[in-house]
Homo-oligomer: A and B are copies of this chain.
Amino acid sequence: MARWEPDARGRMTRAALDLYAEQGFEQTTTAQIAERAGVTERTYFRHFADKREVLFDGSHELEALVARTIADAADDVAPLDAAGAAFVRVAGELEDRRDFAARRAAVVAATPRLRERELLKLAALRDDAAAALRDRGVPDPAASMVAEVGVAAFKVGFEAWIASGQARPVADEVRDALTVLRAQAEV
Residue positions of A touching B, CB distance < 8 A: 78-81, 112, 115-117, 119-120, 123, 140-142, 144-146, 148-149, 152-153, 155-157, 159-160, 173, 176-177, 180-187
Contacts known (A80-B187, A185-B182); A141 close to B160, Cβ less than 8 A? yes
Nearest B residue to A123 via CB reads B119
In the assembly, what is the distance between CA of A185 and CA of B116, in Å?
Answer: 29
Residue of B115, B148, B185 touching A185 (CB-CB under 8 A): B185
Residue of B79, B140, B152, B177 touching A152 (CB-CB under 8 A): B152
Q: How far, in Å, is A160 (CB) from chain B's closest CB?
A: 6
Instruction: Label chain A's interface by main secondary structure.
Output: helix
Whether A181 and B117, one on each chain, are in contact in the complex, defined by CB atoms closer than 8 angstroms, is no
In the assembly, what is the distance between CA of A45 and CA of B108, in Å?
Answer: 28
Neighbouring B residues of A186 by C-beta, 8 Å:
182, 185-186
Whether A144 and B119, one on each chain, are in contact in the complex, defined by CB atoms closer than 8 angstroms, is no
Whether A79 and B185, one on each chain, are in contact in the complex, defined by CB atoms closer than 8 angstroms, is no
Whether B157 and A153, one on each chain, are in contact in the complex, defined by CB atoms closer than 8 angstroms, is no
Neighbouring B residues of A119 by C-beta, 8 Å:
116, 119-120, 123
In the assembly, what is the distance between CA of A148 and CA of B122, in Å?
Answer: 13
Contacts known (A115-B120, A116-B117, A148-B148); A184 close to B153, Cβ less than 8 A? no
Neighbouring B residues of A141 by C-beta, 8 Å:
156-157, 160, 173, 176-177, 180
The 3 closest A-B pairs by CB, nearest first: A148-B152, A185-B185, A119-B119
Can you name 18 extra interface pairs (CB under 8 A) apart from A81-B187, A145-B177? A119-B120, A140-B156, A141-B160, A141-B173, A141-B177, A141-B180, A142-B184, A144-B152, A144-B159, A145-B152, A145-B153, A145-B181, A149-B149, A149-B152, A149-B184, A152-B152, A185-B186, A186-B186
